[in-house]
């Protein structure tokens, strides 16, 4: 009883505690909530790579720098030198921006490809993505957005930098044009001379101050060591200048006894004359300048005067050496340009005199800058020397023309040795002289001085260009031409043919020639405000790509695509050659099938190379399909025949109704198929002529193929003998001749046919077969010889010719004979069965 009461108390206590436990227990999760939980992941912050952060920081720095430069330019208070300095600072920024864009482009493309692998987001009503996929999608979208924003910022900055560079170039050219065409008082203006007279006292005082400064610095710096150093430098310069005139000619091999030196010898001598004439003078001026600059004995304001003087002396020696190298006034046979001796001497004297006048003018201009001379003094100095150069040029042209007229009058009609450019050059010279004189008189002094400087500079550039082109043609193209040592060595080591080496040499010399011409054009255009940075920027844009609307054209991409196609084409040709020479000969395939395999391999290789090239250019198959659809109209009208022949060629290669090596008859021509091309087929006739037949004609026309099934050929020998000859005897002779020949097939056996009986002869045909139709002609000839010998041995003579109808018999035919013939024809027609 006691135990029963205890059990009841335990049951009641458990029943009482269960509700409280139920109240304290957590609520069970909703199954639907568990299903929907993964569809609402927490948004993770975007993960940006360190490379992207660094690129973005770099672009932000460039943006701040460009904004600052743009603000400075917009103020329009900067000098030409400041503008040039800013432009030089922009160039490396442009390069860095391009590098950032090129580095980020593949990363952006890779991120887009990874994002595309996730596919599009599910639409409403479709199953939701898992949490991992949604998180991965969010991270990749953020990375793509950051990279795309970086690319767009880089392109924006690139455009801004290019626009700033172009704006600076425009501003500098505008300033150059204003300074060039700025008008002042002319050389003969009284106001200008009055201003000069008024400024003379001031300039004399400035000259005295400069002289006092120079002597004062000389007293302070002129120690014994300094004087010895300066004396040594001047002595070296004098020795170099003297050696240039006395020793250098002895080192140059211009032997007057050689009447016809080679072009290479003349070029080497010209190079030696130029270097030995110009290098010592330049070295001497440099030694003196280094000595003066190292001891600091020249006042700062006079340094430009010393530089102008020393540079001018070197310039005069340079001009003299250049003219001597090209024209060789004292050595007619060593001259590079065919001109007369008198003309060469006059050109030399004029060039040296003009260079001297220009150097004197530049030295005085630098002295005016040193003393800060008044503007009228500067204007009249530049005007005077520009006018002196123009008058000197005009006098040279006048004497040159008068001398030629005197020579022609004394010696009769003269056939000039030089190229016929004298007339146009003289006309251009007179135009230049008139322009310079007119500019000086009209007050455009800057323009006159600029034209003189440009004329001299362009003449020097043209002379150097002549030397450079001659050296390129002779030592690049000429070294690979003929039996030269270099050409022989390359032929032995590379296996190239002589003709190929000559073509390579011509191409290389042409490239060097083009580069020299482009460089000369840049040097000519440089003083006109067109700088190398402008040209290089345009060339860089052309090479690396420029945009026209939504299309980007890149010469580098085109060249690389062409290179890929050339590599694919070369590999295709190598494979075809391997098939022709190695693989296919080891098979038992006939020549026609081997040609089809070779041609098909060529088509596949070229098409593959083309697809790879177009893919590199960014032309996908979809775009090519669009282009092909656009061209279909043109193909339907203008290219129908070409496409028809191309398709016919493919049918010939696939169905092989004719093969390479087959003996075919096309129309009246018979020959062997030598090659089946894309558009036509080549057939070689018996007279070694090549017949070109369009492929469509072979498909749609009638072609007789003598070896379509096999190469067995029929030999037909027709023999007429006199009518009185025993037929059995002739048949036996012909049969024995056929059986005795070893190339005639025994099956089918040779047969002799009694063909017909004529008035004077009986005709026989010997029909036999050979296993190769190519030997049919030769076998037929052998049989004729053998049968003729057999008939002669049997005493059978040649058949007599049927007598020709006599004219009298024809004349005896009258109306009665014609009526009789008409009756016979009517009777035969009636007896003919219907």
Q: Is residue 612 part of a domain?
A: no
Kindly state whether residues 436 and 510 are assigned to the same domain.
no
Predicted pLDDT at 553: 60
**Low-confidence residues in the chain, pLDDT < 50:** 1-43, 408-419, 548-550, 800-834
- Total number of domains constituting the chain: 5
pLDDT of residue 498: 78
Angle at 605 between CA 604 and CA 611, to 5 degrees: 90
Instruction: Tell whether 781 and 669 lie within a shared domain.
Output: no
Residue 664: give its domain's CATH number: 2.30.30.60
Integer Cα distance of 420 and 401 in angstroms: 14
Query: Domain for residue 749, yes or no?
Result: yes
Q: What is the per-residue pLDDT for 286?
A: 92
**Distance between start and end Cα atoms, the chain:** 145
Domain contains 667: yes
Q: Which among 492, 496, 395, 389 has a CA at the least distance from the CA of 445?
A: 389
353 and 292 fall within a common domain: yes
Q: What is the pLDDT of residue 37?
A: 42
How far apart CA 389 and CA 381 sit, in angstroms, is: 12
Cα separation values, 706 from 373, 700, 712, 782, Å: 103, 18, 9, 22
**Are residues 202 and 133 part of one domain?**
no
User: What letter would DSSP give residue 582?
Assistant: I
Pair 159, 217 in one domain: no
Q: Are 338 and 419 in contact (CB under 8 A)?
A: yes
Claim to verify: residue 700 and residue 723 sit in the same structural domain: no
208 and 348 part of one domain: yes
8 Å CB contact between 637 and 682: no
Residue ending a domain, among 708, 729, 761, is 708
CATH number at residue 754: 3.30.70.100
> Based on the domain organization, do 458 and 410 belong to the same domain?
yes
**What range defines the domain where residue 157 resides?**
50-121+128-180
As a whole number of angstroms, the distance between CA 656 and CA 664 comes to 13
Domain co-membership, 548 together with 440: no
Sheet of strand 761-770, all strands in order from the earlier edge strand to the far edge: 713-722, 761-770, 751-757
Which of 532, 553, 574 corresponds to the end of one domain? 553
Q: Is residue 830 part of a domain?
A: no
**Cβ atoms within 10 Å of 509's Cβ, excluding its own:** 22
Same structural domain for residues 95 and 70?
yes
CA pair distance 659, 681, nearest whole angstrom: 10
Alpha-carbon distances, residue 101 vs 55, 95, 391, 538, 556 (angstroms) = 9, 10, 58, 19, 17
pLDDT, one tens digit per residue, over 531-552 is 555 555 555 555 555 554 445 5
pLDDT at 718: 93
Structure tokens at 722: 């006199």
Encode burial over 36-62: b for 16+ CB neighbours within 10 A, e otherwise. eeeeeeeeeeeeeeeebeebbebbeeb
Task: For the beta carbon of residue 351, count every other beta carbon within 10 angstroms.
Answer: 22
C-alpha 323/C-alpha 274 separation (Å) is: 8
Question: What are 368's two structure tokens?
Answer: 């005016």
CB atoms near residue 79 (< 10 Å): 9
Tell me, rounded to whole angstroms, the distance of Cα 467 from its chain centroid: 24
User: What is the residue whose two structure tokens read 């001085």?
Assistant: 449
Identify whether 472 is part of a domain.
yes
CA distance linking residue 606 with residue 600, whole number of Å: 10
Residue 158 lies in a domain: yes
User: Does any domain span residue 350?
Assistant: yes
Residues 511 and 505: their CA atoms lie apart, in Å, by 10
Q: For residue range 260-288, list pLDDT tens digits in order.
A: 888 888 888 888 889 888 888 899 899 99
Examine residue 17 and state whether it is found in any structural domain, yes or no. Answer: no
Q: What is the number of residues in the chain? A: 834
Residues 282 and 392 in one domain: yes
d(CA 480, CA 484): 7
**CATH number for 72:** 1.20.58
Same domain, 161 and 261: no
**Of 234, 236, 255, which is closest to residue 244 (Cα–Cα)?**
236
Q: Return the bridge partners of 676, or none.
A: 681
For residue 321, which of 293, 378, 279 has the smallest C-alpha distance? 279
Q: Which of 136, 162, 180 is the last residue of a domain?
A: 180
- Cα separation of 47 and 59, whole Å? 19
Q: Quick one: tokens of 643?
A: 């496409």
What pLDDT does residue 720 have?
Answer: 92
Q: What is the dihedral of CA 580, 584, 589, 595, to 10 degrees?
A: -30
pLDDT attached to residue 716: 92
β-partners of residue 692 are 682
């Amino acid at each position: 009883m006691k135990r029963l009461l205890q059990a009841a108390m335990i049951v009641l206590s458990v029943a009482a505690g269960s509700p409280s436990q139920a109240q304290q227990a957590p609520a069970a999760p909703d199954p639907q909530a568990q299903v929907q939980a993964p569809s609402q992941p927490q948004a993770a912050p975007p993960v940006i790579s360190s490379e992207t952060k660094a690129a973005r920081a770099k672009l932000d720095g460039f943006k701040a720098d460009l904004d600052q430069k743009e603000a400075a330019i917009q103020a329009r208070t900067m000098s030409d030198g400041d503008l040039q300095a800013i432009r030089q600072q922009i160039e490396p920024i442009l390069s860095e921006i391009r590098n950032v864009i090129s580095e980020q482009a593949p990363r952006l493309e890779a991120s887009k490809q990874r994002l595309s692998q996730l596919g599009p987001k599910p639409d409403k009503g479709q199953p939701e993505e898992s949490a991992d996929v949604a998180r991965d999608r969010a991270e990749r979208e953020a990375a793509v957005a950051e990279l795309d924003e970086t690319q767009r910022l880089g392109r924006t900055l690139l455009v801004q930098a290019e626009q700033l560079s172009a704006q600076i170039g425009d501003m500098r050219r505008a300033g150059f044009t204003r300074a060039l065409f700025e008008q002042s008082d002319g050389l003969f203006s009284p106001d200008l001379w009055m201003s000069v007279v008024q400024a003379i006292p001031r300039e004399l005082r400035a000259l005295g101050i400069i002289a006092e400064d120079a002597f004062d610095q000389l007293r302070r710096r002129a120690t014994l060591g300094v004087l010895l150093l300066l004396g040594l430098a001047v002595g070296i310069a004098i020795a170099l200048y003297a050696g240039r005139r006395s020793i250098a000619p002895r080192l140059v091999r211009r032997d007057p006894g050689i009447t016809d030196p080679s072009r290479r010898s003349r070029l080497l001598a010209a190079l030696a004359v130029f270097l030995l004439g110009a290098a010592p003078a330049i070295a001497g001026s440099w030694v003196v300048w280094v000595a003066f600059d190292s001891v600091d004995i020249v006042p700062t304001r006079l340094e430009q005067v010393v530089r102008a003087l020393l540079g001018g002396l070197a310039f005069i020696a340079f001009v003299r050496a250049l003219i001597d190298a090209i024209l060789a006034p004292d050595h007619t046979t060593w001259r590079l340009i065919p001109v007369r001796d008198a003309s060469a001497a006059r050109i030399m004297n004029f060039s040296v005199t003009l260079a001297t006048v220009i150097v004197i003018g530049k030295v005085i201009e630098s002295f005016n800058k040193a003393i800060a001379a008044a503007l009228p003094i500067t204007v009249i100095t530049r005007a005077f020397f520009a006018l002196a150069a123009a008058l000197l040029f005009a006098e040279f042209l006048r004497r040159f023309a008068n001398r030629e007229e005197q020579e022609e009058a004394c010696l009769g009609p003269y056939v000039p040795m030089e190229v016929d450019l004298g007339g146009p050059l003289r006309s251009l010279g007179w135009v230049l002289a008139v322009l310079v004189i007119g500019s000086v008189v009209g007050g455009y002094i800057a323009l006159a001085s600029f034209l003189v400087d440009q004329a001299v500079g362009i003449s020097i550039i043209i002379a150097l260009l002549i030397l450079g082109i001659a050296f390129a043609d002779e030592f690049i193209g000429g070294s690979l031409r003929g039996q030269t040592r270099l050409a022989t060595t390359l032929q032995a080591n590379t296996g190239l043919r002589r003709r190929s080496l000559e073509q390579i040499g011509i191409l290389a010399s042409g490239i060097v020639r083009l580069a020299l011409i482009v460089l000369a054009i840049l040097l000519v255009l440089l003083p006109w405000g067109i700088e190398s940075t402008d040209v290089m920027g345009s060339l860089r844009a052309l090479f690396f790509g420029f945009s026209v609307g939504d299309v980007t054209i890149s010469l580098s991409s085109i060249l690389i695509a062409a290179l890929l196609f050339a590599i694919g084409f070369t590999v295709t040709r190598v494979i075809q050659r391997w098939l022709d020479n190695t693989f296919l000969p080891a098979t038992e395939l006939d020549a026609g099938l081997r040609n089809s395999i070779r041609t098909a391999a060529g088509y596949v290789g070229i098409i593959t190379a083309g697809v790879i090239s177009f893919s590199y250019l960014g032309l996908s198959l979809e775009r090519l399909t669009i282009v092909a659809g656009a061209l279909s109209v043109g193909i339907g009208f203008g290219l129908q025949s070409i496409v028809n022949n191309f398709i016919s060629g493919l049918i010939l290669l696939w169905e092989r109704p004719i093969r390479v090596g087959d003996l075919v008859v096309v129309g009246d021509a018979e020959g062997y198929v030598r090659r089946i091309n894309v558009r036509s087929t080549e057939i070689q006739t018996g007279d070694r002529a090549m017949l070109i037949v369009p492929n469509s004609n072979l498909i749609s026309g009638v072609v007789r193929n003598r070896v379509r099934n096999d190469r067995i050929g029929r030999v037909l020998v027709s023999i007429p003998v006199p009518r009185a000859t025993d037929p059995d005897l002739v048949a036996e002779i012909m049969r024995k001749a056929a059986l005795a020949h070893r190339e005639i097939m025994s099956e089918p056996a040779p047969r002799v046919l009694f063909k017909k009986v004529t008035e004077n002869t009986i005709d026989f045909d010997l029909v036999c077969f050979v296993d190769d139709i190519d030997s049919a002609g030769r076998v037929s000839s052998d049989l004729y010889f053998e049968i003729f010998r057999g008939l002669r041995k049997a005493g059978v003579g040649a058949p007599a010719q049927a007598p020709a109808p006599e004219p009298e018999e024809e004349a005896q035919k009258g109306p009665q004979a014609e009526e009789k013939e008409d009756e016979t024809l009517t009777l035969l027609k009636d007896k003919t069965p219907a």
